[in-house]
Structure 1
Amino acid sequence: MLLIRHGQASFGADDYDALSPTGHEQARTLGRSLKERGIRPAIVVRGTMRRHEETAAGLEIGAETIVDGGWDEFDFQHVVEVHRPSFRDRAAMMAELNTHDRPDRAFQEIFEAATGRWCSGESDRDYVESFSAFRDRVTGALDRASGHKDVVVVTSGGPIAMAAALLTCGAPGITEAWTALNRVVVNTGVTKLIGGRRGLSMSTYNEHTHLEADPRLLTYR
């Protein structure tokens, strides 16, 4: 099973969920790499989001596609807005971020503080989906996908990091592992899971050699 993060979305645009031009190029680049390596999955599973659909299309795999909302990203905009209510106004958010030399880094700091609050479990009633509910949703999606052989899953960074955390650490360490793994996952990064008698195990995480020939394509958000 290959878990693929979607290509770069359109941060700051009216429709964040659409891939940026770079995101489309990342998807095409990964698709060519998979073909060159002889990878021919039997099934493609993707989340319901536009960025998942456009990334899957860009891969041009040509296999049967199953749509499973369990692979959707958590609502990070909602999580950020709970932490920073002024960000409910998109123009106000962009105006504040643009006061910094690196708006992307400024947003990342706010994002990490917001997700830290969400992960703590101390304010679950403030969120449409709690962190524990998100964990359970991804667990179910992972179980369903594992019923297929030779499957590519097109999803988002949060579910990929959760799947990796679930497979590599016990319940007490899930929050810390998810936070660390989610921070580094790149657009169109590939995580390989192997099925065996004892279930799934993680072989590689966030592999992205297909992007290394063109540093312009290496993005995290």
Structure 2
Amino acid sequence: MQRQLYSRIRCVGTIYLVRHGQASFGSDDYDKLSQRGHEQAARLGSSWASAGIVPTRRVSGSMRRQRETATGVVAAGDAGAPHRVDPQWNEFEHVGMTAQHAQDSGGDQKVFQASLNLALAQWMSGEGDFPESYADFCTRIRTGFADVVAAAGPGGKVAVFSSAGPIALVVSHLLTASDALFTTLNDVVVNASVTTVIVGRTGPRLLTFNDHAHVLPGLATYR
């Protein structure tokens, strides 16, 4: 019985969906990590090292904040796994979206969030002129997720460094087989948080969502 249980555990693959560390909100270049964002990535790397979590593969989107988070985690303890850049894991263009609305955040995160929510509703309904349609975004993320599910394989551990939008969409589909929870989940994904998915014989299943104990206390941020 124990041998059979151990065999089943070894056959389970694990996917760690990591949101990037805090970006440089309000600066000329949003797409780089802030000092706090670098600290968050280092905290995650140290946490993984302490827990003995060693990914067999690493994937990041091509956005700077995603790549810098992956680099920071590696520098703090997650070394050795090959790293592949896959633009399928890029975030939707939320900064450009808010520019289509009259509100100017002026560095105010609450104003920015309100503007983003208006833009999201318009984008998801198929209205407006956006560089990528919502339907294309969904197809891109689901394709990227299918790729890492295949890569996880028996006993594999794949770390994916992405953003709130892709993670929220994946989790919504795992829980509801639809995008019904996308906007709700997108609002609450913490910077440098980890969402864990296990892959077994029946396919991928959500194990944990938005784990951010490693950035508590004092370093947790949402944007």
TM-score of the superposition, structure 2-length normalised?
0.86
Code of the aligned partner of 2:52 = G
1:117-156 Cα shifts (integer Å, max 9, x gaps): 11123x16x1111111111000000011112221000001
Q: What RMSD over aligned residues (CA atoms) do the two structures have, in Å?
A: 1.3
Residue 150 of structure 2 aligns with which residue? 147
Separation of aligned partners in 1, 2:196 and 2:27: 32
Code of the aligned partner of 2:113 = Q
Residue 123 of structure 2 aligns with which residue? 118
Aligned ranges 1:172-187 → 2 under 5 Å: 174=179, 176-187=180-191
Deviation at 1:104, TM superposition (A): 1.2
Q: Which runs of 5+ in 1 are unaligned?
A: 88-92
Separation of aligned partners in 2, 1:43 and 1:112: 34
Separation of aligned partners in 2, 1:218 and 1:128: 31
Code of the aligned partner of 1:211 = V
Dislocated runs of 4+, deviation >2 Å:
none
Choose from 14, 18, 39 the match for 1:4. 18
Code of the aligned partner of 1:219 = T
Q: Does residue 169 in structure 1 map to residue 171 in structure 2?
A: no
Higher helix share: 1
Choose from 156, 159, 179 the match for 2:163. 156
Separation of aligned partners in 2, 1:202 and 1:59: 22
Aligned residue pairs, count: 201
Q: Does residue 202 in structure 1 map to residue 206 in structure 2?
A: yes
TM-score of the superposition, structure 1-length normalised?
0.87
Choose from 59, 76, 85 the match for 1:45. 59
1:36-72 Cα shifts (integer Å, max 9, x gaps): 1110111000000110111001001221001110000
Q: Does residue 190 in structure 1 map to residue 197 in structure 2?
A: no
Separation of aligned partners in 2, 1:25 and 1:207: 16
